[in-house]
Amino acid sequence: MSMKIKKTKNGITVLLAVLVLSATAACKNEPSEPDVRQPVINSASASSPTLQLPDDTEVTLTVSATSADGKPAKAYSWELKETDPAGLTANIGAVNPDGSVTVTGLTVAGEYTFEVTVTGNNDVTAPAEVIVTVKADARQPTFSIGSNNSIIRLPTDSVTLDSDVNDPDDNLAGVGYEWSRVTGSTSAQITTPNGASTTVTGMSAGQYTFQLAVVGSNGVAAAAPKTVGVDVLEALAVSASTTTDLPVSFATDDGVNVSLNAGTISNKLNSNEEFDYLWSAAPSDGVSFADATSPNATATITQAGNYQFTLKVTSKTNSHDAVSSPVLITANDARPPIINSAAPSASLIYAPAASTVNLSVEAESADGSAATYEWTLKSTVPADLTATISNDTQATANVSALNTAGTYVFEVEVKGSNGITKTQEVTVVVGIETTLNFPTLSAGPSLNFAPIETLPAGVTYIITDNREPQNVWNSAAPEFTGTITVAEVNVGPITFTQTFYLYGKKVSDIERIVTANVVTFPSTQFASVNSDKNFVELRHP
């Protein structure tokens, strides 16, 4: 007998036996040869020829076979013959009596070739192969990288990029990351390109796009990379101005007010960003603010000088700040000097015995510094009188040649350190010393005044009837002939006031009253005169 074994495509080995009977041997009754026939393998297969990771990781291998004589096979054994790629492993369990076996641990994608060896009852074996294909895990991770278009502002030049990954196997430690810059300045440096999060540093102003690609712990990449934008703004900036006309001047110690206004704040992170405000001045002496922490402030300047006002704004979001270019303001001190006193050494002198006086002023600039002086003769009564002034630029000037009676008005001009002037007048009266008789009043049926024939220069007098009152005599322009007729109704005392003037200025303290008593007789009225003085000393106007 001879046998041929053929291995088919599906791994089933078919035993073809051709029996050749030797009639001759049979006839001769010779001894039989050993049975070397292989067992018959009808089929060998897997419960799932194709497995899909990660859910399918085990398979049942089965075989259908008999011994060559048609009786059940004696034994079965399974082994992992080869893998593609090489080196893969699997766990083959205990073989069941029917030859089936469970294989586990098929966790790596590849092609696994298992071989079953069937032993017939004649101890002859036959092999068959079963191929199991394990397909790789195709699940993709999903992820996000936060909100798009983050905004930062210089001097902040770095940003942190974060990711949130959902790994199919919940194995974040096995996830792969790759951050890259798509657009923007090459100055930007990604510090941890393979981390779940990374910091980007060295960014300059401009727009950037960064990309993240993710590979799950199963080695499968996410469907597509994702990008995030970052806008880097220039540093915060603010402008400031004043609506006050420049330069400014102040004429009182209260100073002058200046209106300061905040301008545009540039490079805001968003339209809702809020700021703190603070105004300052350099130099700060002589400046005060009523509302230094308001966008629009009022500064009061009380000292002359050149000032630089600046506005500092600070973001309440991230403490970024900016200082405006200075608002330049010149303040001029227009305050007049302070004159504490100005007076002559004597306000009344009598010529010709005295003809000089000293004029003194005590003054200072508005800021307390020294002032300058200039004395002049402003006016006189009568006009065109003269005097000589020496040391006319000193605090104390000397006046001489006051030889003519009259009123002299001197003026001192005080100039402060700021160039502002102030004047004050000082009056000196030059009188004469002489003795005048009163106009005489004679009594009779009428009252008659006899004028003073000779009067010193500038001297005039008026006689007033106190009953009216009215002037009855004016030596400068006589309004009365000098005769007063006494009527019966005037019986009793009549009082007249005689007032003297020097250059039109009343000499009030030398008024004299003359009383005329009118008496009635049977047929005639007479007047008698009683006067306590009949002369006056004219010493000052």
pLDDT band at 56 (very low <50, low <70, confident <90, very high): very high
pLDDT tens string 480-522: 455 555 544 445 566 666 676 666 666 544 455 555 555 444 4
The answer to whether residue 181 scores a pLDDT higher than 90 is yes
- Taking all residues of the chain, what is their mean pLDDT, rounded to a whole number? 83
Measured distance CA(361)–CA(425) in Å, rounded: 10
Closest CA to 209 of 187, 184, 191: 184
φ, ψ (nearest 5 deg) of residue 366:
-60, -30
With beta carbons less than 8 A apart as the criterion, state whether 336 and 366 touch: yes
Average pLDDT over residues 128-133: 97
pLDDT score for 358 = 96
pLDDT score for 363 = 96
pLDDT score for 535 = 37
Average pLDDT over residues 154-158: 94
CA atoms within 13 A on the CB side of 397: 26
pLDDT score for 9 = 43
Which residues have CB under 8 Å from 214's CB, separation 6+? 141, 143, 163, 165, 175, 176, 177, 178, 221, 222, 225
For residue 323, the cross-strand partners are 312
pLDDT score for 524 = 42
pLDDT score for 537 = 40
Which has more confidence, 410 or 538?
A: 410
The 287-289 sheet, strands edge to edge: 237-242, 256-266, 296-301, 287-289
Range of lowest pLDDT (118-132, 322-336, 346-360, 366-380): 346-360
Measured distance CA(519)–CA(525) in Å, rounded: 6
pLDDT tens string 387-416: 999 999 999 999 999 988 778 999 999 999
Measured distance CA(349)–CA(391) in Å, rounded: 21
CA 521 to chain centre: 105
Range of lowest pLDDT (91-105, 365-379, 389-403, 518-532): 518-532
Measured distance CA(341)–CA(424) in Å, rounded: 9
- Please provide the DSSP assignment of 150-187 as one string: EEEETT---EEE--EEE-TTS-GGG-EEEEEEEES-TT
The answer to whether residue 281 scores a pLDDT higher than 50 is yes
Helix (H, G, I), strand (E, B) or coil at 26: helix
Measured distance CA(6)–CA(234) in Å, rounded: 83
Largest CA distance in the chain: 233
Q: Which amino acid is at 306?
A: N
pLDDT score for 407 = 87
DSSP state of 16: E
**Percent of the chain beyond pLDDT 90?**
62
The answer to whether residue 198 scores a pLDDT higher than 60 is yes
Buried b (16+ CB within 10 A) or exposed e, 183-203: ebeeebebeeeeebebebeeb
The answer to whether residue 184 scores a pLDDT higher than 60 is yes
pLDDT score for 379 = 94
Measured distance CA(462)–CA(500) in Å, rounded: 7
Pairing of strands 40-46, 305-315: unpaired
Judge if pTM exceeds 0.95.
no
Which has more confidence, 412 or 443?
A: 412
With beta carbons less than 8 A apart as the criterion, state whether 202 and 187 touch: yes
Average pLDDT over residues 266-271: 91
pLDDT score for 483 = 53
pLDDT score for 467 = 61
Average pLDDT over residues 422-446: 69
Range of lowest pLDDT (56-70, 172-186, 512-526): 512-526
Measured distance CA(527)–CA(487) in Å, rounded: 10
455's tokens:
């009067």
pLDDT score for 489 = 44
Cβ-defined contacts of 184-190 (< 8 Å, 24+): 184/208, 184/209, 184/230
The answer to whether residue 447 scores a pLDDT higher than 70 is no
With beta carbons less than 8 A apart as the criterion, state whether 361 and 341 touch: yes
pLDDT score for 187 = 94
With beta carbons less than 8 A apart as the criterion, state whether 449 and 439 touch: yes
In which element (H, E) is residue 205 found?
A: none
Measured distance CA(475)–CA(451) in Å, rounded: 8
Measured distance CA(378)–CA(359) in Å, rounded: 14
Measured distance CA(466)–CA(349) in Å, rounded: 33
pLDDT score for 375 = 97
Highest mean pLDDT among 12-16, 128-132, 491-495: 128-132
For residue 139, the cross-strand partners are none
pLDDT score for 355 = 87
pLDDT tens string 296-333: 999 999 988 999 999 999 999 988 999 999 999 999 99
Radius of gyration of the chain (CA): 67
Closest CA to 170 of 54, 79, 70, 266: 54
Highest mean pLDDT among 12-26, 226-240, 348-362: 226-240
Q: Which amino acid is at 419?
A: G
Closest CA to 375 of 358, 354, 389: 389
Pairing of strands 226-233, 206-215: antiparallel
pLDDT band at 352 (very low <50, low <70, confident <90, very high): confident
With beta carbons less than 8 A apart as the criterion, state whether 538 and 507 touch: yes
pLDDT score for 4 = 39
pLDDT tens string 80-97: 999 999 999 999 999 999
